[in-house]
C-alpha cells in the first residue's frame, strides 16, 4: 500500500507559502521548484500575515555559492525560517550552526576533538552491531514499522553513545528530538516543539554538571573541559551544542534510511541492482542522501548589499537556500527526478557546503551504509504494506511511519548478525 499522492502546486507561485508546514503536507512541489529553477532562480517570497518576505535560491550553483560565503551572509541571525523570520536565534554566537567567524571555527574545532579516528572506529563497530541486531529482529518478525522499529533507534543510539547518554534515557530523548523540529500531529506542532526544545536543554544541563565533576570519554565531557582562547566554554555554549548535535545527529540519517526502504520498494530495479552487488553501498548511500534531502532548507541574513542574478539584495534581508531543489537541479544531475543508485558523480548538498558543512556527515553516511548492507544481507526483498505517514515540518521532509513486510534471505538470519 502506497501513500496518497499530494496535490499539484497552484499555478500562482505566490500562493505557495514555504513558511507553513501545511504546504509540504498538502502539495507535491516538484513543478514549483522546477519552475523557479528555470525562470526565477532568485525568487522573492511574499510576506504572509505577520511573517516578512524573503528571498529563495533554488539552483545548485547559487546555493553552493551562498554556503561558501560567510562574509556577505551570516548565520547569526538564525539559519532556518522559524528563527530568520521571527526574533532571531537565542543561540546565536553560542551554538556552532548559528555562529560565524573566529568563534565558529574554534567551537567547531572543540567538537571535532570528540570525532577523533579512535572514537569513530569504536562508534563504527557499535553502529554495525546495533543495525544488524535491529534489522535481523525486524526481518525475523516478518512485518513491522521500519521507521519506528529500526530507523528511529540507530542514529539515536549512535549520537547518544558519543554524548554519553545512558541507555535508559534514550527513548525519552528520541521522543523529544522528533517533536523539536517536526511532528506527526499537525495540531501539536508548535506547542510540542517548544516544550521538547526546553526539555532537551534541561536534560543536558544536568549532564554538564555531572561531567564537570567527573569527566568521561564523551562529547559532553570534551565540551565541559575545553577552553577557547584560554577561557572555558560557558554553560550555555555546552548545552546548546549538545542540543544541536542530538538533533542533527538524529534527523538526517533517520529520515534518509527510512526513505531508502521506501524508494527501493517503489523502484525494484534499483533494489535488484543493489542486491546483486552491482552497486556499492557507498554509491547507493550518496543517492539515498540526494534523493531524500531530509533537511529541505537553510538560510542566512545579508550583511552587506549584494547582487544576485542582477538584483540588489539589501543588507538585513533574509536569503534561503533549498537543498531539496538544488539536489534535483537538472543543470547538475542527469535525470534528477529518478532514484538511480549508480549515479556518478553525485555531489549532492544534503549536508550543506562550506564552513557550516555538517560535522556529523561521516556518521550519517556510516549509519545509512550499514542499514543498506544489513538489508542486502538479511532480506531478499520487502514491500510497503500499510499507509505511509509523513512528518509535519517546513524544515525536514520524510516519513514517520513505514509499515513493511520483509522476505527473509534465509531461516538463519540471526547467525549473520555479527
Which three cell numbers, joined as nine digits, stand for 165? 547518554
* In a domain? residue 327: yes
The model's confidence at residue 4, banded by pLDDT at 50, 70 and 90, is low
Which three cell numbers, joined as nine digits, stand for 12? 500562482
pTM, to two decimals? 0.93
Q: Provide the 10 A C-beta neighbour count for residue 193.
A: 18
Q: How far apart are CA 256 and CA 276, in angstroms?
A: 22
* In a domain? residue 1: no
Domain count, the chain: 1
* In a domain? residue 126: yes
Q: Three-class SS string for 260-275?
A: HHHHHHHCHHHHHHHH
| Residue 214 CB contacts under 8 Å (≥ 6 apart), including other chains | none
Please provide residue 312's backbone torsions phi and psi, each rounded to the nearest 5 degrees.
-75, 125
Q: How far apart are CA 387 and CA 293, in angstroms?
A: 22
Q: Cell numbers 541486531 correspond to what residue?
A: 133
* In a domain? residue 303: yes
**Which is nearest to 13 in space by CA: 37, 28, 35, 30?**
35
Mean pLDDT of the chain: 92
* In a domain? residue 289: yes
**Which is nearest to 139 in space by CA: 416, 415, 409?**
409
Q: Are 291 and 259 in contact (CB under 8 A)?
A: yes
pLDDT in tens, 42-77: 999 999 998 999 999 999 999 999 999 999 999 999
* In a domain? residue 2: no
CA distances from 30 to 17, 33, 294 (A): 15, 5, 15
pLDDT at 1: 43
The model's confidence at residue 7, banded by pLDDT at 50, 70 and 90, is confident
pLDDT in tens, 85-131: 998 999 999 999 999 999 999 999 999 988 877 888 888 999 999 99
CA distances from 193 to 156, 181, 188, 236 (A): 18, 6, 8, 20
CATH label of the domain that carries residue 317: 1.10.630.10
Q: Does residue 418 have a pLDDT over 80? A: no
The domain of 61 spans 7-416
Angle ∠(374,378,382) on CA atoms, nearest 5: 100
pLDDT in tens, 146-191: 999 999 999 989 999 999 999 999 989 888 887 876 655 555 556 6
Amino acid at each position: 500500500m502506497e501513500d496518497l499522492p499530494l496535490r499539484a502546486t497552484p499555478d500562482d507561485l505566490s500562493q505557495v507559502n514555504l513558511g507553513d508546514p501545511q504546504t509540504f503536507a498538502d502539495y507535491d512541489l516538484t513543478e514549483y521548484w522546477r519552475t523557479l529553477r528555470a525562470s526565477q532562480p532568485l525568487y522573492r517570497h511574499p510576506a504572509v500575515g505577520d511573517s516578512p518576505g524573503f528571498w529563495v535560491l533554488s539552483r545548485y550553483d547559487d546555493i553552493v555559492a551562498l554556503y561558501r560565503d560567510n562574509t556577505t551572509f551570516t548565520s547569526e541571525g538564525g539559519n532556518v525560517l522559524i528563527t530568520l523570520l521571527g526574533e532571531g536565534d537565542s543561540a546565536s554566537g553560542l551554538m556552532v550552526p548559528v555562529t560565524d567567524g573566529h568563534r565558529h571555527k574554534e567551537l567547531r574545532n572543540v567538537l571535532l576533538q570528540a570525532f577523533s579516528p579512535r572514537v569513530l572506529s569504536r562508534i563504527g563497530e557499535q553502529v554495525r552491531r546495533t543495525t544488524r541486531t535491529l534489522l535481523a529482529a525486524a526481518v525475523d518478525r516478518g512485518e513491522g514499522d521500519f521507521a519506528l522499529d529500526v530507523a528511529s533507534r540507530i542514529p539515536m543510539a549512535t549520537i547518544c553513545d558519543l554524548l554519553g547518554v545512558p541507555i535508559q534515557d534514550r527513548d525519552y530523548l528520541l521522543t523529544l528530538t522528533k517533536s523539536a523540529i517536526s511532528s506527526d500531529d499537525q495540531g501539536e506542532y508548535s506547542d510540542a516543539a517548544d516544550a521538547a526544545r526546553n526539555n532537551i536543554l534541561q536534560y543536558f544541563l544536568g549532564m554538564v554538571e555531572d561531567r564537570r565533576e567527573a569527566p568521561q570519554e564523551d562529547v559532553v565531557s570534551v565540551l565541559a573541559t575545553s577552553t577557547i582562547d584560554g577561557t572555558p566554554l560557558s554553560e550555555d555554549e555546552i548545552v546548546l551544542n549538545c542540543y544541536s548535535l542530538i538533533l542533527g545527529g538524529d534527523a538526517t540519517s533517520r529520515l534518509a534510511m527510512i526513505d531508502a526502504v521506501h524508494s527501493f520498494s517503489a523502484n525494484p530495479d534499483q533494489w535488484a541492482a543493489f542486491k546483486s552487488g552491482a552497486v556499492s553501498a557507498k554509491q547507493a548511500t550518496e543517492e539515498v542522501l540526494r534523493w531524500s534531502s531530509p533537511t529541505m532548507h537553510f538560510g542566512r541574513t545579508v550583511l552587506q548589499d549584494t547582487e544576485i542574478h542582477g538584483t540588489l539584495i539589501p543588507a538585513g534581508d533574509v536569503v534561503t537556500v533549498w537543498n531539496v531543489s538544488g539536489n534535483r537541479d537538472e543543470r547538475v544531475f542527469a535525470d534528477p527526478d529518478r532514484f538511480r543508485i549508480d549515479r556518478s558523480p553525485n555531489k549532492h548538498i544534503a549536508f550543506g557546503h562550506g564552513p557550516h558543512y555538517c560535522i556529523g556527515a561521516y556518521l550519517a553516511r556510516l549509519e545509512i551504509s550499514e542499514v543498506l548492507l544489513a538489508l542486502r544481507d538479511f532480506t531478499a526483498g520487502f514491500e510497503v504494506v500499510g499507509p505511509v505517514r509523513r512528518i509535519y515540518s517546513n524544515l525536514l521532509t520524510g516519513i514517520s511511519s513505514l509499515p513493511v513486510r520483509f522476505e527473509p534471505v534465509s531461516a538463519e538470519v540471526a547467525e549473520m548478525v555479527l
